[in-house]
């Protein structure tokens, strides 16, 4: 028991030290990059921030950008740094619970991995729920935007987006995504990132095609009415297939949550018929606690597999 407590404390200190070093390096490198950009702008260099980063740091910038895109696509106010701190905090909680409750190195490692991945799993599942709820409403939204684009003379993408948003004829989730895209394109200068997060909010290839069309129109100022018309025609042809795929995803989600229901029924029946024996076996006995941990691990793997299959269907 003492060894496990020392092991858990050492792991907590290591994670806290790694977090401090990571954020310290992030702050230092941000300051250095800012100074280089200032010197480059004075000298007329004009290089982007990603080009100033060394190759090793770019590897860290990719997951940072990925998490940032997920948070912004969902409209969460949490920053990527706060998300990392939340994940590390959950991992530390897993270490403590594994060392105190289950009292085995395997339990410590299992709970560390599961709880540290829980915030990201919740983030992906929230995004998946939005993608499923907006899957069938994306075609009417594109058709409405196409009508607004024709009314504006096929010249101004931002004005067409403004007209689409102000009409308030889109469903709630789709209205929020288009409203977010319009605000980002109107205020921020990162058009490519805004379009990337827009496509991520819907999570299908049609949204990626639509985002590429908007990108071409914004960068080159071309008339994309023919491209939009062709996209709408292809989406209408594939509408029946989209409904079938949505039903399959609902079946996947139902199968994903069924083991949780069965485990709850199993535990409820045991505690109802024999409360004392169930408490002694599942709570007091180390073997029973280990069995419950294995069940939770299998449920966690089931959620991960369901999320993976849902993404494949999208």
Distance of CA 168 to the CA centre of its chain: 27
Task: Report the 10 Å Cβ neighbour count for 217.
Answer: 22
CB of 120 within 8 A of CB of 307?
no
Each residue's pLDDT tens digit, 85-136: 888 888 888 888 888 888 788 888 888 888 988 899 888 888 888 887 787 7
Please, what is the average pLDDT of the chain? 78
Match 């990626």 to its residue by tokens: 208
Q: In whole angstroms, what is the distance from residue 146 CA to residue 22 CA?
A: 46
Domain residue limits, the chain: 2-133, 138-237, 241-313
CA–CA gap between residue 232 and residue 200 (Å, rounded): 19
In tens, the pLDDT along 215-273 reads 988 888 888 889 999 999 988 887 776 666 667 777 777 777 788 888 889 888 988 88
Given this model, what pLDDT does residue 106 score? 85
With a threshold of 0.75, does the pTM exceed it?
A: no
**Distance of alpha carbon 106 from alpha carbon 103, whole angstroms:** 9
For 128-168, what is each residue's pLDDT tens digit? 888 877 877 888 899 999 998 888 887 788 888 988 888 88
């Amino acid at each position: 028991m003492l060894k496990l407590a020392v092991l858990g404390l050492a792991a907590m200190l290591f994670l806290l030290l790694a977090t401090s070093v990571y954020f310290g390096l992030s702050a230092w490198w941000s300051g250095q990059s800012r100074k280089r950009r200032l010197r480059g702008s004075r000298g007329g260099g004009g290089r982007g921030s990603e080009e100033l980063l060394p190759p090793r740091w770019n590897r860290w910038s990719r997951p940072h950008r990925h998490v940032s895109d997920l948070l912004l696509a969902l409209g969460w106010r949490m920053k990527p740094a706060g998300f990392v701190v939340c994940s590390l905090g959950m991992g530390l909680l897993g270490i403590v619970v594994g060392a105190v409750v289950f009292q085995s190195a395997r339990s410590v490692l299992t709970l560390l991995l599961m709880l540290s991945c829980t915030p990201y799993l919740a983030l992906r599942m929230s995004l998946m729920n939005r993608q499923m709820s907006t899957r069938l409403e994306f075609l009417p939204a594109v058709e409405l935007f196409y009508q607004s684009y024709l009314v504006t003379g096929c010249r101004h993408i931002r004005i067409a987006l403004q007209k689409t948003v102000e009409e308030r004829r889109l469903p709630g989730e789709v209205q929020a995504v288009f409203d977010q895209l319009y605000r980002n394109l109107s205020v921020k200068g990162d058009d490519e990132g805004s379009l990337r997060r827009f496509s991520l909010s819907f999570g299908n290839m049609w949204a990626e095609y639509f985002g590429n069309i908007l990108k071409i129109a914004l960068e080159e100022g071309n008339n994309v009415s023919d491209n939009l018309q062709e996209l709408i025609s292809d989406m209408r042809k594939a509408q029946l297939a989209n409904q079938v795929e949505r039903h399959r995803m609902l079946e996947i989600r139902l199968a994903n949550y069924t083991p949780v229901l069965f485990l709850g029924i199993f535990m409820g029946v045991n505690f109802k018929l024999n409360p004392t024996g169930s408490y002694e076996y599942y709570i007091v006995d180390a073997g029973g606690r280990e069995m419950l941990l294995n069940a939770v691990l299998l449920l966690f793997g089931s959620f991960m597999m369901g999320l993976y299959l849902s993404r494949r269907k999208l």
